[in-house]
């Protein structure tokens, strides 16, 4: 497990929390139903991973990107093609190669970031979004000349063991997400991670203190795209089990961007909270709406009112807590600690080391 730089204690509340979360995550299959895994948890994991990827680029390194869906698509199609065209290639290797392909494309489209910033960079990443979708549609080789351009995902196999069934696919996704998330927690506390933050907070200052700005930006694009590419593999192979370019459109890019904005920039926890909000919340609204008013209104009216409801809630959230769900959780946690400290007559609570990495001045 990761060792925080400024903490040498073996057991901390933070680690206990993560451990508990892992136990719950791996224990869920005992009680959950197929619907829970296939319709909620697996897409949640895939989108969380994509948000973790985008968070490295946008949250930590400060480079806005509207091309996330393109890298999802690159990952999905690359994994499909490696799997198809290299017989006997283990699926894990396909995943890694897919991530590397996405990273290569990401670095390519990250080149404009050397010259462009902010909105201009965001617009230039749109190029990735449209170019990738166009290329995947234009050249049917990518989808193995399937007339509809829809590819069927092969079953997930690891070392001869097939992850079939909702639970298998969930555990497969969970393991990949856990491994990558832990790697990322290490990364953001390494020199590279601190370089990201330095570049985000003040590019000129970063250059003055000797941070290689150009290289750092490209590394951010590469790592971010790698992770989003792997998320694309999960989205296509573990969740939908069919891949078509239409699903990786600009809406998906915005969805991932919204996840990190709502969840909290530069916060890994925020990526998961945001993804949970974006995936689960509409479902809850949709299902309670259908259960309460299903007989009175048709599904179209319900869907429209849900959209209005979700939109209003997002606005409300961002006004009340611009730093996202992650900061909201912190506030609640601090409040609990304060109460406890006050009750026991102790001092002020220790704050999380992670929060120190979050951007200032966004409140």
Residues 280-299 binding other proteins (CB under 8 A) are 283, 286-287, 290, 294, 298-299
Residue from the set 300, 345, 347, 361 that interacts with other proteins by CB under 8 A: 300
Q: How far is the CB of 143 from other proteins (least distance, A)?
A: 9
What are the tokens at 295?
């007989």
- Coil, strand or helix: which one is 17? helix
Between the two ends of the chain, the Cα-to-Cα distance in Å is 32
308 binds other proteins (CB under 8 A): no
Q: How far is the CB of 254 from other proteins (least distance, A)?
A: 14
39 binds other proteins (CB under 8 A): yes
DSSP letter for each residue of 183-216: HHHHHHTSHHHHHHHHHHH-HHHHHHTT--HHHH
Q: Which is nearer to other proteins, 87 or 345 (CB)?
A: 87
Q: Which is nearer to other proteins, 244 or 330 (CB)?
A: 244
204 binds other proteins (CB under 8 A): no
Contact at 8 Å (CB) between 323 and 265? yes
Q: How far is the CB of 48 from other proteins (least distance, A)?
A: 15
DSSP letter for each residue of 262-297: HH-TT-HHHHHHHHHHHHHHHHHHHHHHHHHHTTTS
Q: Which stretch binds other proteins (CB under 8 A): 172-180, 190-198, 200-208, 301-309?
A: 301-309
- Coil, strand or helix: which one is 226? helix
Phi-psi region of 139 (alpha: psi -120 to 50; beta: other; left: phi over 0): beta
DSSP secondary structure letter of residue 157:
E
Q: Which is nearer to other proteins, 136 or 198 (CB)?
A: 136
Residues 141-170 binding other proteins (CB under 8 A) are 147-150, 152
Residue from the set 29, 32, 112, 247 that interacts with other proteins by CB under 8 A: 247
Contact at 8 Å (CB) between 55 and 230? no
Q: How far is the CB of 277 from other proteins (least distance, A)?
A: 16
CA distance 24 to 52: 20
Q: Which residues sit opposite 334 in a β-bridge? A: none
Q: How far is the CB of 27 from other proteins (least distance, A)?
A: 21
Residues 42-61 binding other proteins (CB under 8 A) are 43
Applying CB under 8 A, the residues found at the interface with other proteins are 33-35, 38-39, 43, 137, 147-150, 152, 239-242, 244, 246-247, 249, 283, 286-287, 290, 294, 298-304
């Amino acid at each position: 497990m990761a060792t925080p730089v400024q903490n040498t204690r073996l057991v901390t509340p933070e680690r206990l929390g993560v451990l508990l979360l892992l136990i719950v995550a791996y224990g869920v299959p005992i009680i959950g139903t197929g619907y829970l895994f296939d319709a909620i948890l697996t897409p949640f994991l895939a989108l969380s991973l994509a948000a973790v990827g985008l968070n490295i680029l946008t949250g930590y390194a400060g480079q806005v990107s509207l091309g996330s869906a393109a890298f999802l698509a690159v990952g999905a199609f690359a994994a499909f093609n490696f799997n198809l065209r290299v017989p006997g290639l283990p699926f894990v290797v396909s995943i890694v190669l897919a991530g590397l392909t996405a990273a290569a494309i990401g670095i390519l489209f990250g080149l404009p970031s050397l010259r462009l910033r902010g909105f201009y960079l965001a617009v230039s990443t749109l190029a990735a979004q449209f170019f990738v979708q166009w290329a995947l549609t234009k050249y049917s080789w990518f989808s193995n000349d399937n007339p509809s351009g829809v590819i069927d995902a092969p079953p997930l196999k690891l070392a001869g063991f097939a992850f079939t069934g909702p639970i298998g696919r969930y555990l497969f996704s969970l393991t990949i997400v856990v491994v990558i998330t832990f790697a990322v927690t290490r990364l953001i506390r390494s020199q590279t991670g601190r370089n990201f933050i330095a570049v985000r907070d003040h590019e000129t200052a970063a250059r003055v203190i000797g941070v290689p700005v150009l290289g750092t930006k490209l590394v951010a694009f590469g790592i971010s795209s790698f992770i989003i590419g792997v998320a694309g593999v999960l989205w296509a192979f573990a969740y939908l089990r069919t891949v078509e370019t239409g699903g990786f459109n600009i809406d998906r890019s915005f969805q991932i961007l919204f996840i990190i904005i709502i969840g909290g920039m530069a916060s890994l926890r925020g990526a998961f909270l945001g993804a949970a909000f974006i995936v689960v919340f509409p479902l809850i609204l949709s299902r309670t709406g259908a259960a309460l008013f299903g007989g009175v209104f048709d599904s179209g009216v319900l869907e429209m009112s849900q959209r209005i409801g979700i939109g209003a809630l997002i606005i409300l959230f961002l006004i009340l807590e611009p730093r996202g769900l992650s900061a909201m959780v912190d506030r609640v946690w601090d409040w609990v600690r304060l109460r406890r400290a006050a009750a026991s007559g102790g001092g002020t609570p220790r704050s999380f080391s992670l929060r120190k990495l979050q951007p200032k001045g966004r409140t």
